[in-house]
A and B are shown apart, each in its own frame.
Chain A
């Protein structure tokens, strides 16, 4: 008993040290950036730094990494250039602010950042300007903003047998089982930074919609299929993608994605798998092994699902994606072609035509079986 407790303690300590190390790295990195600027000024020079270019021409698809990355083009930001001086100062402030957040282990949202700036007489025209500067900081440091304790408004949630241990101030060392609350747990800063302790689950099911998430919890999909259920709430936020990646990498769990049967659903799965062009400057947000299991265009015909016609923007999206290198082969290309042929789409709820539990009783088992061979 005692040994097991000690073992547990030491494990916990190791985990906590890991979190501390991460924090230390971030702080060191910020400090080195600050020191460079400081030295420039101290030497009577206008400080400058280089930042990877995020223009479309510099976003390339890396086949080995199976995601979009930034190319080698970089831009020089100089405080001598009066056109850049303002954004230079803003970025400087943001680094300074992120440093404080990380130091004090405080979390904030994108909106918080926008308002906090005003306490330092740093002007942002609107939140989109401050959001943009946050992406600049990510690009310079190659770290997602979550590492600097800046989080989006959470709207996705998780449910299933997974034990975690908090690292945020006031909860350090406290553990929690994520199957304790049937509405699920929202994926916010505390969950994103928590250590993943253990799980009995064998698979992660990411599902696009809150309604289906609730149905899956009700129907005890977590128990029946030994799974962790995640509601992505449409396009998965980056904190959720980070969590999916950690579940896959740290817990060695396969990830499957279940979306509406339309082109947007297909792309939600793709972003979980290989990221988005918007986040080409970051590399820790993808689950290259994630599998999209449905609803496929071919399922619409196979299961005779009730459909609605595609809108013009749906069709345009299909043609756009056909140009994307990731849609050039396999299931991705095949399903896209069928969508274009059908010009119709079906929602996850369409299975209710055959009864409310049809999706969990019939469809899901078939797809889980199929996923093994994908």
Chain B
């Protein structure tokens, strides 16, 4: 057999996303235009939310050559009044993939700002035009960049950079990309419309390529409380995440060079004097509490080596073997490796253990996870069959996997902290629904926070009936973290829950004029695909959705029965008016009479009574 050697190349993130752009929603000109709009609008809204600014977002799509037929190049511009981005970050933020400020654990529309870079990348691939970024973060100077992406190196190439004086903060991003507005237009307009429903505190305008203007002014003046960044919940992490957290918790053994020795001397206040080993130790003991960790480690090492600064200068630490309590070092003077026993009773031994082996399990849990106290941590250690004082750095691979499994399975952790969530709130949601649909009936509910796999979530839901709502309902408006979800609704968990509902039970029949607005807020929405269009049916989420929908449906049901009574009264009045005269006509001939019976007065009284009933019921509905 001939030997064919495979070539292994590292590819840059840009290259990876270039070849997998379908995953991120850039599969064709229609979808790509829509996804690009989404990414930029969402970034603008996120930026404003984070700084508590009431967002003004302007979206413009213009055809480069209006006479060409679709698909064709479009210029997409999104301008906001957010905090802007400092000039030095702009090239990296817009010219590399996986560079962003959104890596913390809290609710945001996007996770990493990845989508925007993808849009830029897609624009560059299809039109070979740079992204134009105009940003002012101080309301004085605006930096204007034209940037291309070096795909292979994942590096920005600045084509042009100028500055200008301005009076307002904000960011404007403009890309040229191939799109198909004739097909994507509907979705984009829906997207803007639905976004303004779930973001009532934002003003959003949209100038479309055909010269139409869509304006959605804000109708709520208060921005919802911004979410806080929090530590992870034990249920929400995996082995890789734990490994990284352990690395973060460990400290390297400092290199003992001249600079380090100088730092130790300075921190001990000995810069001028040359003290003996014992005096140094005495001094260190007194100052211990104020010493930084690195200095403490050096002191600890010195305590076992029994060396002063001069001697210390002539060796290099080779290894610290905690299990065997031995310290290995290279003596430059003698040119050989030497070892030294360490006394495990010494307080300095503990210091070294901490450094080399990381924190004990219980400290690791309480310090690095949300809502884990010392008692729970000890209980967990027992559950995971690990010693509470077990050093994180000494865990074997198998123990790590076991730890990760146990973290998932241990039920006594408190529910995840929901302070990282930013639901819209029942009141603004109701206001939005009323403004958009002018319904006869509306009810909203915000469920208490719940969690799936360690990720907290909150369901907000609204239901409305009648008014300007089109028939053929229920029409479902799905949102996740204030993003409208427009594609792939067939496999979405919200749709599943709605479809499972027997509306007849709630007195909703036929083709009702009826909408449901569902908003899922979470630090991580369990999307089924990277395109962020449908939410997977996690059991916990499904349950909360069901409870919310049942609560609202019951309210709708009582509205419907009131309305039904009013309608029935009206209907009765109509039936009497229609049929009684017919009965009178037929029985007159049947009875062989000439004149019809005197029934008109009775009929009038009856119709009047029924009409009054109908008016009364309708009033009650109106008062609710």
Contact = CB atoms under 8 A, between A and B. Distances in A.
A69 to B, nearest CB: 28
Interface string B548-583: 000000000000000000001001100110011011
A45 B568 CA distance: 21
A35 interface: yes
A23 B1 CA distance: 111
A82 B575 contact: yes
Contacts of B576: 82, 85
Interface in A13-68: 30-31, 33-35, 37-39, 41-42, 44-47
A102 to B, nearest CB: 11
A86 B579 contact: yes
B579 A41 contact: no
Contacts of B568: 82
B598 A42 contact: yes
Interface in B586-619: 586-593, 597-599, 601-602
B584 interface: yes
A88 interface: yes
Given A41-B583, A41-B597, A44-B601, A96 B572 contact: no
A37 B582 contact: no
Contact of B590 (A45, A82, A96): A96
A220 B475 CA distance: 76
A264 B568 CA distance: 47
Chain B contact residues: over half helix, strand or loop, or mixed? Answer: helix
How many A residues touch the partner, as a band?
A: 20 to 34
A339 to B, nearest CB: 45
A47 B599 CA distance: 10
A327 interface: no
A140 interface: no
- Give the interface centre of B589, B590, B602 by most chain A CB atoms within 10 Å: B590
B575 A47 contact: no
B602 A34 contact: no
Interface residues of B, number: 23
B569 to A, nearest CB: 10
A38 B591 contact: yes
Contact of B591 (A34, A46, A79, A82): A34
A34 B580 contact: no
A86 to B, nearest CB: 7
Interface in A314-346: none
Contacts of A95: 586, 590
- Give the interface centre of A41, A45, A82, A86 by most chain B CB atoms within 10 Å: A41
Interface in A80-101: 82, 85-86, 88-89, 92-93, 95-96, 99
A85 B577 CA distance: 11
Contact of A30 (B583, B590, B601): B590
Contacts of B590: 30-31, 33-35, 37-38, 92, 95-96, 99
Contact of B587 (A37, A46, A82, A122): A37
Contact of A44 (B588, B591, B599): B599
Given A37-B587, A41-B583, 13 more contacts: A31-B590, A34-B586, A34-B588, A34-B589, A34-B590, A34-B591, A35-B590, A41-B580, A44-B599, A89-B586, A92-B586, A96-B590, A121-B582
* Closest 6 pairs between A and B when the two form their complex, measured CB to CB: A34-B590, A41-B597, A42-B597, A34-B591, A96-B586, A37-B587
Interface of B: 568, 571-572, 575-576, 579-580, 582-584, 586-593, 597-599, 601-602
